Every structure is written in structure tokens, then in C-alpha cells.
Amino acid sequence: MRALHRIEQVQRLLEDQVLDAIIVRANSDLFWLTGFEDVFDSEQAHVAIITRQDCILHTDTRYVTAMREKAHEEGIWQIDASREREVEFIAHMLKELKLVTGRVAIDETMPLSLYRKYSDAMPNARFKERSDDILKLRAVKDADEIVLMKRAQAIASEAFMETLEDLQPGMSERDASIMLEFNMKRLGASELAFANIVASGPNGAKPHAIPSERQFEQGDFIVFDFGARVGGYCSDTTRTVCIGGASEEQIRVYEAVRRANEWVAANIKPGVTGAQMHTLAESELAKAGFEHKMGHSLGHGVGIDIHELPLLSPTNKEALVAGNVVTDEPGIYLPGEMGVRIEDCGVVTETGFESFCDITHELMVIE
């Protein structure tokens, strides 16, 4: 029962930090804690309170039937669908649990206006602002999560390769994005992990370009950044392909990115920091003459959300641990000319890095 294991992690956190309860509001955190599949959507309609003994989830009538069915399977969560608003519910629960003056953790992302309502309704509670407590627990994936992410990656990879078969000059970025989305969903993705990026020619120099009506031309590099969602978990991949033959300069740029990606992958292991991996990629690009041409962090964690902890960035001095799932995505961006990015998502193992993606790093040329 994965939910029980995760609840126990949170309850140990309460003990370690001398807290009586934690309030959880983010849907991604709630999904991770409950394991309730096909229940949570984009609406912020739920709040949970976890103590050292109790797990109570408040929702509304639109979700209560599905949640009670899932809760019955797990036998851990109490589901409350009273007509109380969030603040009223939490105040009621603190009173019922005899924690009116308790030390209660709240996430720092809580809106100020909502925090003021909490404070007014529960003046004796000792609210403690916490940062990323559950996100840090989520950063280490278990075997079930890895299975789902590998499944999502397999679907995304197959869909991408099918999309390339129909790629041709004159097709627009938008049409290619729609085709890739259709292929992922047809092959079993519940939804996209994020909006596809399809950026051709000079648009490739915009790392988060939105697919446009620009049509592919001979000699274009095309950056595809895409991911599928399966069982609530994401994949994340980027490949850069070429329409027709690539110039010597394009190949030089591509090979620099490829070397940086593969050098990082060879060095990721428990104990190295996100900052060290970012610096490694930057130094490899600089050796090829592309210093300061990446402009973004090397990578990020992936899981229920497409961007999670840990970060492979200059600011992350914390060591990676086995079970972290991260992206390795160096890039070079030359405004007005081209962009190249190669991204693999994989898990940090006891001895190194296992990529989930089997799509070649060789430059794929669409004739």
C-alpha cells in the first residue's frame, strides 16, 4: 500500500520537526499522499490535515463518491464532504482533534489572503511556515512510480518516431504538434505532460517557443520537446531533428550539445550536486566555443508534475540521491539562427544514471 508508506513518511516528518499537524492543499501533493488515481483534476477543491494519528481529506460533492471508493480500497483516509469552507473545516478539525493551540505546518505558497483568514479563525494555533516538505519527499521515487514513468516514456518515444515518419517540408509547427499529441493519446497517454514545443529554424533559439504556423523548410533544425502522462506521472524528452541536409555549423552545434548531454549522463550518481552537473554541462559547451549559449538550468526533477525537485541548476548545492528522477537537457540557442536541445529523463541509481529514453542521439535527418 503505497499511500500508507507515504503517510508514514509525513508522520515521521511531524515527529522530527516537533509538529502536531500539517495542512496539505496542492493537488499534486494530495495525489501523491493518497494514491487516488482518476480523481484529482485542476480544481483547487480539496484540503487535507494529517496528524501523527489521523488523515482527513475534505472535498466537495463533485468528488466525494470517487474519493470514498478509493479511500475504502486503501483504508487509511477519512473523507469529509461537509458544506464547510476550507478555513471552517480546518478550524473545526483542530478543535475536534484537540489541537487548537497546536503547532501546524502550512506551505509557504499559501496565499496571504487565505493565511489571514486562517489566523483570524484560529488565533491560538501556532502556524509554522514550511518550504517544500512534501516536495522533498516526492523527489525520491519508489518502484511503482518508476514503472509508470517508464511507461509514459515508452508511449512518448513511440509517438515521436511515428510523427517523424509523416514530417515533411511545408508542414507547420502547429500541425506537427497536433500530430504528436494525437499519437501520444492514441498510444495510451491520458493527457500531455505539458504543451508540446515544436520550434523550427530561428524559432528553435526560443527554449519555450509555442508552435506557430511557420512551415518547415529545407535545412531547418526542429526542436521537439514533449511528454506523455500515464497513471498521473510524466515523461519529458527533447530531440532536435533536421529537414534535409545539415550544414557544417549545424552539425558542430548539434555535436556540442550531444557531448554535453552524454558527459553529464556518465557522471550523474548519488553524491554529486545539481550545481556540479550544471557546471559540467556548461564547461563542455564552452570547450566547443558555446560559452553562455545555454541560458537555462541543465535539468529538473520530474514526477507527478513536470517540474519537481531536485534541480540541476547553479543554485542547488544538495547532493542527488538514488531514486531522484531528473532531466539532462543541455542546449545551445543562437538567436535568429537555430537552437539545439537534447533531453533525456531518467533515474539516479546506486551506481549512476539510467535513462528512460531509448531514442537515438544521432542526428535524425528527414529527407
- Distance, CA of 140 to CA of 347 (rounded, Å): 9
Question: Is it the case that residue 358 has pLDDT exceeding 70?
Answer: yes
Domain match, 150 and 243 both: yes
Cell reading at 223: 526542436
- Domain end position, chosen among 107, 138, 169: 138
Domain match, 155 and 270 both: yes
Q: Identify the pLDDT of residue 1.
A: 54
Domain match, 44 and 58 both: yes
Domain match, 185 and 277 both: yes
Q: For residue 174, which of 153, 200, 143 has the smallest C-alpha distance? A: 200
Taking residues 22-48, report their average pLDDT. Answer: 94
Q: What is the DSSP pairing of strand 55-58 with strand 47-51?
A: antiparallel
Q: Identify the pLDDT of residue 174.
A: 98
Cell reading at 91: 478550524
Instruction: Please say whether the beta carbons of 50 and 8 come within 8 A.
Output: no
Mean pLDDT of the chain: 96
pLDDT digits (tens, 9 = 90+) for 279-332: 999 999 999 999 999 999 999 999 999 999 999 999 999 999 999 999 999 999
Domain match, 163 and 311 both: yes
Classify burial at 317, counting beta carbons within 10 Å of its beta carbon; exposed 0-12, middle 13-18, buried 19 or more: exposed
Q: For residue 348, which of 141, 150, 193 has the smallest C-alpha distance? A: 141
Question: Is it the case that residue 194 has pLDDT exceeding 60?
Answer: yes
Structure confidence at residue 220 as a pLDDT band (50, 70, 90): very high
Domain match, 229 and 85 both: no
Q: Identify the pLDDT of residue 131.
A: 83
Q: Which residues pair with 127 in a beta bridge?
A: 104
Instruction: Please say whether the beta carbons of 22 and 50 come within 8 A.
Output: yes
Domain match, 31 and 132 both: yes
Total tally of structural domains belonging to the chain: 2
Compute, in degrees rounded to 10, the torsion defined by CA atoms 261, 267, 272, 274. Answer: 0
- Domain end position, chosen among 96, 119, 138: 138
Instruction: Please say whether the beta carbons of 203 and 173 come within 8 A.
Output: yes
What's the count of helices (H) and strands (E) in the chain, helices before strands? Answer: 10, 20
Domain match, 72 and 151 both: no
Question: Is it the case that residue 15 has pLDDT exceeding 90?
Answer: yes
Taking residues 175-184, report their average pLDDT. Answer: 98
For the entire predicted model, the pTM comes to 0.95
The residue range of the domain holding 228 is 143-366
Q: For residue 319, which of 262, 277, 261 has the smallest C-alpha distance? A: 277
Q: What's the CATH code of the domain at 147?
A: 3.90.230.10
pLDDT digits (tens, 9 = 90+) for 237-290: 999 999 998 999 999 999 999 999 999 999 999 999 999 999 999 999 999 999
What percent of the chain has a predicted confidence (pLDDT) above 90? 93
- Distance, CA of 142 to CA of 108 (rounded, Å): 26
DSSP letters of 150-194? HHHHHHHHHHHHHHHHT--TT-BHHHHHHHHHHHHHHTT-SEESS
CB within 8 A of 228, min separation 6: which ones?
Answer: 152, 153, 155, 156, 159, 184, 187, 188, 189, 192, 193, 234, 235
